[in-house]
Amino acid sequence: MKIIMDERGKKYFLNEDKEFHSDLGIIDEEQMSKANIGDTLTTHLEHDFKVIKPNINDFIDLMDRRCSILVQKDIGSVLAHTGLGSSSKVVDAGTGAGAIALNFANVVGSEGMVYSYEIREDFSIIANKNIETFGLKNIIIKNKDIKEGIDEENIDLIFLDLPKPYEIFEDVYESLNFGGWLAVYAPYIDQAELAYKVAKKLNFQNIDIIETFERGLEVRPQGTRPKTRMVGHTGYLVFARKL
């Protein structure tokens, strides 16, 4: 998959088989079909578009999203804390538009696999379409309530973004590898607290609740200073390990 970006930084999927139309003009099919990373394509109105190698974030920015998605600071925490890597096996629920599943699939690669549970049919259809567009073969969307059971075994990471995640921690424990991680995203303190307590009772180890903050620094002619705008809270992350 490739992406083209106009002079304003706006990005579009590159469809090699079709003429491209935008408010900055038309790029003909020939240019589109031969486009390589780094090339500059030109519209009939003399506007330039660059061909860039997209990463997972570009794709998620462009894809069909109908529900809120995890912010990067939280995705980063999950990846770093659980040591997710190539060839890992992941279960997540709920899928939503598939963003977090795509993030995981991007990391576990062709030797790994992501099983993503989504109770709503409409979301699972959107997610499936998104995955197909990105061309990933290592995600399976399951239109199914994860509370009815987790079908997979020897999983390295189970990630839950559900209202009452702790209701299925027994199943989670069964499905994890020795050494595997449970990670829960919990906007409310109460959820995080209950997740902690249930995980403890079920003998999970290395249980931690964390929250992360991210602040930008801005460099201006008058001087450098932290940014005024900052997000105060997204959610807590609860981590627990089967050991």
Coil, strand or helix at 204:
coil
Coil, strand or helix at 104:
helix
Our finding on whether 143 is near a second copy (CB under 8 A) is: no
Residues 96-115 that bind a second copy (CB under 8 A): 103, 106-112
Our finding on whether 77 is near a second copy (CB under 8 A) is: yes
Residues 112-141 that bind a second copy (CB under 8 A): 112
Give the span between the Cα atoms of 70 and 99, in whole angstroms. Answer: 8
Our finding on whether 166 is near a second copy (CB under 8 A) is: no
Q: Which is nearer to a second copy, 5 or 140 (CB)?
A: 5
Q: Which helix (H) or strand (E) holds 74?
A: helix 72-82
Residue type, 126: I
- Going from the C-alpha of 6 to that of each of 24, 50, 51, the distances in angstroms are 8, 7, 9
Per the CB < 8 A criterion, the answer to whether 114 and 105 are in contact is yes
Q: How many residues bind a second copy (CB under 8 A)?
A: 82
Our finding on whether 165 is near a second copy (CB under 8 A) is: no
**CB-based burial of residue 5 (10 Å sphere; 0-12 exposed, 13-18 middle, 19+ buried)?**
middle
Coil, strand or helix at 199:
helix
Our finding on whether 192 is near a second copy (CB under 8 A) is: yes
Per the CB < 8 A criterion, the answer to whether 171 and 155 are in contact is no
Our finding on whether 193 is near a second copy (CB under 8 A) is: yes
**CB-based burial of residue 39 (10 Å sphere; 0-12 exposed, 13-18 middle, 19+ buried)?**
middle
Structure tokens at 137: 């073969």
Residues 216-235 that bind a second copy (CB under 8 A): 216-219, 222-234
Stretch of residues binding a second copy (CB under 8 A), selected from 25-33, 115-123, 124-132, 182-190: 182-190
Q: Shortest gap between Cβ of 50 and a second copy (angstroms)?
A: 6
Q: Shortest gap between Cβ of 126 and a second copy (angstroms)?
A: 21
Q: Which is nearer to a second copy, 8 or 121 (CB)?
A: 8
Q: Shortest gap between Cβ of 166 and a second copy (angstroms)?
A: 13
Binding a second copy by CB under 8 A: which of 27, 63, 101, 156? 156
Our finding on whether 179 is near a second copy (CB under 8 A) is: yes
Our finding on whether 16 is near a second copy (CB under 8 A) is: no
Our finding on whether 243 is near a second copy (CB under 8 A) is: yes
